[in-house]
A and B are shown apart, each in its own frame.
Chain A
Amino acid sequence: MDSTVATGSEESVWGGGNRPLNASYGKLMMWFFLVSDALTFSGFLAAYGFSRFKFIETWPIADEVFTHVPFFHGNYPMIYVAFMTFILIMSSVTMVLAVDAGHKMKQNAVIWYMFLTIIGGAIFVGSQAWEWATFIKGDFGAVETKGGRILQFVKADTGERAALADFAKEIADDREVHEKRNGVWFYDEGYQTSFNLNEVTAGLKANPNILIRTETINNEGEKTLLNREQTLEKIKDGVMVVEGANLVRNEYGSRLFADFFFFITGFHGFHVFSGVLINLIIFFNVVIGTYERRGHYEMVEKVGLYWHFVDLVWVFVFTFFYLV
């Protein structure tokens, strides 16, 4: 399989005939791009490492954050992310098989393997969207202190996390609703948490079974649990209720944690999404027989390189974001 355009004679060093790396122009350029993209991702992950080492004693524990599996209730740390990893590796395999079939000029096999690859990519992107939705919605809720630290709540008897709804006391008060006609016309009221700080504090005082868990990680690698007196003392530092996550604050802990989650998995998800689109284009080209007429399937190999790279990056994101 040669490059698309035959140029010059093989002896001519300057005519393009000389290929010391024994790879076509397009493939080399794909590698150039992948190396530079790898450096971009490394920059993100290194920045994540920087922030994490900076707050090594208070960083959220990923096992406690990513515990959901769609359609199942309960606590399943890592299971769904492992499933996503497997899906992506699987779609990488079908991609290699497509490239392999392309070498043998088997058009129908390439079509099927490309199709499976695209399905795998779509499942992965969908899973990531679901992960984001779950992460943004949050599940237990927390209180933020004046210094921007997060206080979470635990049931003293079982040691399980307590959701705000489990103990907060509804206090009927008439909060003035911001309306455009009686307030600042260009402001919306914005999102309101389901309980305000007074309700959470009152509920905490009334319910002796609830303890506060701070961000600090103790020697056993778990978050520090305060006793009842410390709990009642600590809640006085609270300034607001936090539910779910956004770019400013999140209920899981350090603010940077959610920022990096959105940036790194978002950037990766965008890569997967564009990979699916590029695969689709090549898929249709294979279907209409473009490469059959061209005489080789090198384009499939080139998009294959991109697709494997996306898988490769996920392997690192999986380790550094979810496992370590």
Chain B
Amino acid sequence: MAHEHKLEIFRGLLKFKSNTQKIWGVLIFLTIVTAVEVVLGILKPEMLTQNSFLGMKLLNWVFIILTLVKAYYIAWDFMHLRDEKSSLRRAIVWTPIFLVAYLVLILLLEADYVYEVYKSGFVEWNF
């Protein structure tokens, strides 16, 4: 197993002197992202809640993107995927991404259809 660690994050924008330092750096970054999420969740800025993209509020898109950013840094730096061979990394990352994207697409489309049936069909459920 490789002892060397790749010590740069943000595509080389930030370089750390040691692995320990990198770990603390990533912690600070993840904490900031979580804090931003919580503050947005409490404030709920109108600009983000009133506008939507693909049927979902912009605020929710922001949350999902920030979550994926956090997931990336947890997997890459805490789980050392950055230091693994690219073939291993791709096998681990793309398999679930493909399967989950497919499942979510199918289920959410179906759910939206069921919602329409409840809303405009002849099923009375809210009484």
A interface list, Cβ under 8 A from B = 1-2, 20-24, 27-28, 31, 34-35, 38-39, 42-43, 46-47, 49-58, 63, 77-79, 82, 85-86, 89-90, 92-93, 95-97, 99-100, 103, 145-147, 149, 215-216, 221, 237, 298, 301, 304-305, 308-309, 311-312, 315-316, 318-319, 322-324
Docked CA distance A240–B103 (Å): 38
- Name the contact of A22 in the complex, choosing from B42, B85, B95 (C-beta under 8 A): B85
Digitize B12-39: 1 where CB-to-A-CB distance is under 8 Å, 0 elsewhere. Answer: 0000000110011011001100110110
- Name the contact of A21 in the complex, choosing from B30, B85, B104, B107 (C-beta under 8 A): B85
Closest residue of chain B to A21 (Cβ to Cβ) is B88
B120: interface (CB < 8 Å)? no
- Name the contact of A43 in the complex, choosing from B70, B79, B103 (C-beta under 8 A): B103
CB-defined contacts of A63 to chain B, threshold 8 Å: 41-42
CB-defined contacts of B115 to chain A, threshold 8 Å: 53-57
Q: With A53-B108, A82-B34, A90-B27 known to touch, is A319 a contact of B63 (CB < 8 Å)?
A: yes
Q: 3 tightest CB-CB pairs across the interface, nearest first?
A: A53-B111, A147-B127, A319-B67
Give the distance to chain B from A1, nearest Cβ to Cβ, in Å.
5
Chain B facing A: main interface SS: helix
B121: interface (CB < 8 Å)? no
Docked CA distance A100–B7 (Å): 13
Give the distance to chain B from A36, nearest Cβ to Cβ, in Å.
9
Closest residue of chain B to A28 (Cβ to Cβ) is B88
Give the distance to chain B from A73, nearest Cβ to Cβ, in Å.
18
Chain A facing B: main interface SS: helix
- Name the contact of B79 in the complex, choosing from A57, A298, A308 (C-beta under 8 A): A308
Q: Are A312 and B71 in contact (CB under 8 A)?
A: yes
Closest residue of chain A to B111 (Cβ to Cβ) is A53
Give the distance to chain A from B78, nearest Cβ to Cβ, in Å.
4
CB-defined contacts of A31 to chain B, threshold 8 Å: 88, 92
Q: With A46-B100, A50-B111, A54-B115 known to touch, is A319 a contact of B64 (CB < 8 Å)?
A: yes
Q: With A22-B2, A46-B104 known to touch, is A39 a contact of B67 (CB < 8 Å)?
A: no
> Can you list 24 pairs linking A and B with CB atoms under 8 Å apart?
A1-B1, A1-B3, A2-B1, A20-B85, A21-B84, A22-B88, A23-B1, A31-B92, A38-B96, A46-B107, A49-B108, A50-B111, A53-B112, A57-B119, A78-B42, A96-B77, A99-B80, A221-B49, A237-B127, A308-B74, A315-B67, A315-B70, A319-B63, A323-B60
